[in-house]
Amino acid sequence: MILVGDIGGTYTRLALFEGDRKIEERKYFSRRYESLDALLLEFQQQRGVRIGKACFGVAGSVHQGVCKATNLPWKIDALQLGKVLQNARVEILNDLEAKAYGIDCLSEEDLFPLQTGRRQEGNRALIAAGTGLGEAGLVWDGTRFLPFACEGGHADFAARDEEEWALFLYLKKRLEHVSYEQVVSGPGLYHIFQFLTESGRAVLSPSVQKELEANDPPRVISEWGMSGKDPACARAFGWFLSLYGAEAGNLALKFLAINGLYIAGGMAPVIKERMKEGEFLPSFAGKGRFRSFLESIPVWVVLNDDVALLGAAEYLRKKI
- Domain spans, the chain: 2-100+306-319, 107-303
What's the average model confidence in pLDDT over 245-262? 98
> What pLDDT, in 10s, does the model give residues 157-188?
999 999 999 999 999 999 999 999 999 999 99
| C-alpha–C-alpha distance, residues 270 and 99, integer Å | 18
Side-chain-side CA neighbours of 98 within 13 Å: the count stands at 29
Q: Render pLDDT for 131-151 as a digit per residue (tens, 0 to 9).
A: 899 999 999 999 999 999 999
Give the rounded percent of residues in the chain with a pLDDT score beyond 90: 88
CA distance 225 to 234: 4
DSSP letter string, 150-203? E-GGGSBP---SHHHHHHHHHHHTT-S--BGGGTSSHHHHHHHHHHHHHTTSS-
pLDDT for res 99? 97
CATH architecture label of 107-303: 3-Layer(aba) Sandwich (3.40)
Q: Assess contact for 166 and 176: CB atoms under 8 A.
A: no
In order, the DSSP letters of 268-303 are HHHHHHHHHHSSHHHHHH--GGGHHHHHTS-EEEE-
Burial of residue 68, with CB atoms counted within 10 A of its CB: 0-12 exposed, 13-18 middle, 19 or more buried: middle
Query: Which of 119, 173, 157 minimizes the C-alpha distance to 242?
Result: 157
Stretch 236-263: mean pLDDT? 98
What is d(CA 159, CA 142) in angstroms, rounded to the nearest whole number?
Answer: 37
Q: State the DSSP H helix or E strand holding residue 135, giving kind and residue range, or none if neither.
A: strand 133-140
Class in CATH terms, 2-100+306-319 = alpha beta
**Do 267 and 222 meet the contact criterion of CB atoms below 8 Å apart?**
yes
Rounded Cα–Cα distance for residues 67 and 96 (Å): 14
Look up residue 219 and give its amino acid: R
Q: What CA–CA distance (Å, rounded) separates 314 from 104?
A: 9
Q: Give the pTM.
A: 0.94
Which class for 104: exposed (0-12), middle (13-18), buried (19 or more C-beta within 10 A)?
A: middle
Same fold, 2-100+306-319 and 107-303: no
pLDDT at 1: 85
47 pLDDT above the threshold of 90: no
Split at pLDDT 50, 70, 90, the class of 12 is very high
84: closest CA among 36, 47, 46?
A: 36
Whether the pLDDT of residue 320 is over 80: the answer is no
